[in-house]
Amino acid sequence: MATQQTRTLGRVLLAPSVILLFLWMIVPLGMTIWFSLLRYNLLDPGTESFVGLLNYQYFLTDPAFFAALANTLILVGSVLAITVIGGILIALLMDQPIFGRGIVRLMVIAPFFVMPTVSALVWKNLLMHPVSGLFAWVAGLLGLPAIDWFTNWPLLSIILIVAWQWLPFATLILLTALQSFDEEQKEAAEMDGTPAISFFFLLVLPHLARAITVVILIETIFLLSVFAEILVTTGGGPGLATTNIAFLVYAQALLQYDVGGASAGGIVAVVLANIVAIFLVRLVGKNLDA
Amino acid sequence: MARRISTTHRVTATAAGWLVGFLIFFPILWMVLTSFKTELDAFSTPPQFLFFHWTTENYAIVQERSNYLHHAMNSIILAFGSTAVALVVAIPAAWSMAFAPTKRTRDTLLWMLSTKMMPPVGVLVPIYLLFRDGGLLDTHIGLIMVEFLANLPIVVWMLYTYFKEIPKDILEAARMDGATIGKELIFVLAPMAVPGIASTVLLNVILAWNEAFWTLNLTTVDAAPLTTFIASYSSPEGLFWAKLSAASTLAIAPILVLGWFSQKQLVRGLTFGAVK
């Protein structure tokens, strides 16, 4: 039974976290909204003026915005597809009687701990380089022409790198969920002689549904903000080929010094992320009650 | 009754498992191998797998020319500094929500989670300007503040899920025996809370070590951690693969080891308890 005293104590203990997070969220966000309504260029200080929704009009009608939006959606969608499908397959494999499973598991999750700048540069140079990269050598062995990844398939190259980083996350979560699958159900299905395919679609996949949802939502949140991988490999190019919303806002703010326009873009990014966030928060909330 | 597993099944699964594991791990392995090559061998076609002239000169050169240790130190300061501050703020909060929940606890937790959903790029402009005007660009204190706030929701959540598992009956039993609040904290609760706190520290250090949005945008030299340092190898004139590999190997080695110990916590921390 919580007494008045413990309740007050609880509030005091909670206050620093709540206040700091509130400030962290509301002050910069409020400033972003305010800047987004100004004409404000860092190269031209002292000339700020209120322009209403003009920045949004510019940003949302800029062809660069549509290119960036398309790139963002393609990037997020492709990485999700690769990591979820690949993650399910690898998790199913890891759940098998593998000799030395612990070590295999370590190898599979390792990419998740590699910092983004390292994975991007190692892939770009050591693997994807059109002349000396390992992929070019493998293509040569197979009698295929070497691919100039970052020139001809820039967005695909980024997708592969990011998918490699997130595949372990999906695998790990799906494997955790898979291991809570009822052993008895497995045995019963085996005795009934249920074919492996229908066993998977009728029993395993529904069991994984929740974990898959979690993977999709959490990855989406992070994938909407992919930045370092683009910065160190393509710088958003060639042209706008690998510019996503996050990179576009960065370029507008810190390369073109257009604070107003970048802020409008930032708010658009916040709105996009919030659409996903609502679903995730609901899902987690449901779990909290259970 | 244990299920019978045929030898064929075992052999196929093992072969497939090792193959997949090897393929996924390969880029890291290749990077480590390249770090021990001369620049000439690193570029050679066909690639040299094992029978090249092994050398450790790249590691020496990386430290000598680019002051690797300075950036490694910055990574340590940022990762552990931000984690320490987060713990100080988050432990009391998680504690009170786990042990004295109110009607609003659930909403508070979910609201904290929602702050983590805000894309950093949405607040990049004001944070950058505030840092510029406050002289915080490229400083440890500024970066620690940002990393601490960015990860605070995860820290509170993780601690909360761990504290929640400490049986409350123990507290009552201790109180019955006449333990004071102070004694209760030190002798009963602390020992039970330590594993959860340690796991939280582990995950948060990993996340902060690899964080590359704020560090790339807010640091240049003085406070630049390894993420920013490695990014400097992206310039065309800096493309020395063996040295890039040596620097990269050094940058990820410690966190890879920590990460391998933290698999369980990773699932828990990053899914906010939705998958255990």
The closest CB to that of A225, out of B110, B120, B255, belongs to B120
Contacts of A37 in chain B (CB under 8 A): none
Q: Which of A99-103, A214-218, B165-169 has the lowest mean pLDDT?
A: B165-169
Burial string for A207-233 (b: 16+ CB within 10 Å, else e) reads: ebeebbebbbbbbbbbbbbbbbbbbbb
Kindly give the residue spans of alpha helices, DSSP state H, lying in chain B: 7-34, 39-43, 57-66, 68-99, 105-116, 124-133, 140-164, 169-176, 181-183, 190-210, 214-218, 226-231, 241-261, 263-270
Query: What per-residue confidence (pLDDT) applies to A120?
Result: 92
Contacts of B240 in chain A (CB under 8 A): none
Query: What per-residue confidence (pLDDT) applies to A290?
Result: 54
Question: A3: alpha, beta or left, given left = phi > 0 and alpha = psi -120 to 50?
Answer: beta
Q: What is the pLDDT averaged over residues B72-90?
A: 93
Cis peptide before A238 (omega within 30 of 0): yes
Helix (H, G, I), strand (E, B) or coil at B48: coil
Neighbouring residues of A257: CB distance < 8 A, sequence distance ≥ 6: A41, A42, A43
Neighbouring residues of A108: CB distance < 8 A, sequence distance ≥ 6: A90, A94, A168, A171, B20, B21, B24, B25
Report all structural domains of chain B as residue ranges with CATH numbers, in order of start: 7-58 (no CATH), 68-270 (1.10.3720.10)
CB contact under 8 A, B210 and A113: yes
pLDDT digits (tens, 9 = 90+) for B139-162: 999 999 999 999 898 899 888 888
Chain A residue with CA closest to B87: the answer is A17
The closest CB to that of A231, out of B114, B209, B216, belongs to B216
Q: Is the dihedral of CA A184, A188, A194, A198 positive or negative?
A: negative
Residue in A242, A230, A57 with CA at minimum distance from that of residue B216: A230
Confidence of residue B4 (pLDDT cuts 50, 70, 90): low
ipTM: 0.86
| % of chain A beyond a pLDDT of 70 | 97
Q: Which of A178-182, B133-137, B234-238 has the lowest mean pLDDT?
A: B234-238
Report the length, in residues, of chain A: 290
The distance of B113 to chain A (nearest Cα, Å) reads 7
Burial string for B217-235 (b: 16+ CB within 10 Å, else e) reads: bbbeeebbbbbbbbbbbbe
Report in angstroms the alpha-carbon separations of B51 from A63, A129, A136, A271: 52, 22, 20, 54
pLDDT digits (tens, 9 = 90+) for B5-33: 788 888 888 999 999 999 999 999 999 99
Query: What per-residue confidence (pLDDT) applies to B181?
Result: 72
Query: What per-residue confidence (pLDDT) applies to B3?
Result: 57
The distance of B53 to chain A (nearest Cα, Å) reads 18
Contacts of A280 in chain B (CB under 8 A): 113, 117
Instruction: Please provide the average confidence, as pLDDT, over all residues in chain A.
Output: 86
Confidence of residue B236 (pLDDT cuts 50, 70, 90): low
Q: Which of A14-18, A128-132, B163-167, B184-188 has the lowest mean pLDDT?
A: B184-188
Instruction: Please provide the average confidence, as pLDDT, over all residues in chain B.
Output: 85
**A41: which strand partners?**
A258
DSSP A146: P
Backbone angles phi, psi at A191, to 5 degrees: -65, -40
CA gap A259, A35 in Å, rounded: 7
Identify whether the C-beta of residue B254 lies closer than 8 Å to the C-beta of residue A114.
Answer: no
Q: What is the pLDDT averaged over residues B53-71?
A: 84
Question: A34: alpha, beta or left, given left = phi > 0 and alpha = psi -120 to 50?
Answer: alpha
- Which candidate in B106, B271, B272, B276 is best for mutational testing of the A interface (most A CBs within 10 A)? B271
Q: Is the dihedral of CA A180, A81, A279, B154 positive or negative?
A: positive
The distance of B32 to chain A (nearest Cα, Å) reads 10
Q: Which amino acid is at B180?
A: T
Confidence of residue A1 (pLDDT cuts 50, 70, 90): very low
Residue A161 has pLDDT above 50, yes or no: yes
Identify whether the C-beta of residue A211 lies closer than 8 Å to the C-beta of residue A177.
Answer: yes
Query: What per-residue confidence (pLDDT) applies to A155?
Result: 93
Helix (H, G, I), strand (E, B) or coil at A289: helix
Query: How many beta-carbon pairs below 8 A join chains A and B?
Result: 312
Report the length, in residues, of chain B: 276
Neighbouring residues of B186: CB distance < 8 A, sequence distance ≥ 6: none
Widest CA span of chain B, in angstroms?
Answer: 76
The Cβ of residue B40 has, within 10 Å, a number of other Cβ atoms equal to 11
Query: What per-residue confidence (pLDDT) applies to B78?
Result: 93
Q: What is the pLDDT averaged over residues B96-115?
A: 84
Confidence of residue B264 (pLDDT cuts 50, 70, 90): confident
Query: What per-residue confidence (pLDDT) applies to B27?
Result: 94
- Which candidate in A33, A125, A185 is best for mutational testing of the B interface (most B CBs within 10 A)? A125
CB contact under 8 A, A114 and B16: no
Q: What is the pLDDT averaged over residues B71-76?
A: 92
Residue A115 has pLDDT above 70, yes or no: yes
Residue B237 has pLDDT above 60, yes or no: no
- Which candidate in B137, B164, B268, B275 is best for mutational testing of the A interface (most A CBs within 10 A)? B275
Q: Which of A68-82, B84-98, B151-165, B182-196 has the lowest mean pLDDT?
A: B182-196
The closest CB to that of B260, out of A106, A127, A177, belongs to A106
Q: B90: which 2 tokens?
A: 């988050």
pLDDT digits (tens, 9 = 90+) for A50-66: 888 888 888 888 888 88
- Which candidate in B28, B37, B125, B130 is best for mutational testing of the A interface (most A CBs within 10 A)? B125
CA gap B187, B174 in Å, rounded: 10
| % of chain B beyond a pLDDT of 90 | 20
Q: For chain A, what is the radius of gyration of the CA atoms?
A: 24
The closest CB to that of A17, out of B156, B217, B256, belongs to B156
pLDDT digits (tens, 9 = 90+) for A234-274: 888 788 889 988 999 898 888 888 888 888 888 888 888 88
CA gap A230, B66 in Å, rounded: 23
pLDDT digits (tens, 9 = 90+) for A64-97: 888 999 999 999 999 999 999 999 999 999 988 8
Identify whether the C-beta of residue A53 lies closer than 8 Å to the C-beta of residue A36.
Answer: no
Query: What per-residue confidence (pLDDT) applies to A96?
Result: 85
CB contact under 8 A, A266 and B153: no
The closest CB to that of B231, out of A117, A210, A221, belongs to A117
Contacts of A100 in chain B (CB under 8 A): 14, 18
CB contact under 8 A, B93 and A18: yes
CB contact under 8 A, A35 and B126: yes
CB contact under 8 A, B106 and A228: no
Q: Which of A258-262, B216-220, B236-240 has the lowest mean pLDDT?
A: B236-240
Q: Which CATH architecture has domain A56-289?
A: Orthogonal Bundle (1.10)
Kindly tell me the burial class for residue B111, based on how many C-beta atoms sit within 10 Å of its own C-beta (0-12, 13-18, 19 or more).
middle
DSSP A113: G
Q: Which of A4-8, B136-140, B146-150 has the lowest mean pLDDT?
A: A4-8
Residue A101 has pLDDT above 90, yes or no: no
Q: Which amino acid is at A39?
A: R
Query: pLDDT higher for A138 or B169?
Result: A138
Q: Which of A61-75, A179-193, A202-216, B2-16 has the lowest mean pLDDT?
A: A179-193
Query: What per-residue confidence (pLDDT) applies to B1?
Result: 42
The distance of A178 to chain B (nearest Cα, Å) reads 11
Identify whether the C-beta of residue B30 lies closer than 8 Å to the C-beta of residue A127.
Answer: yes
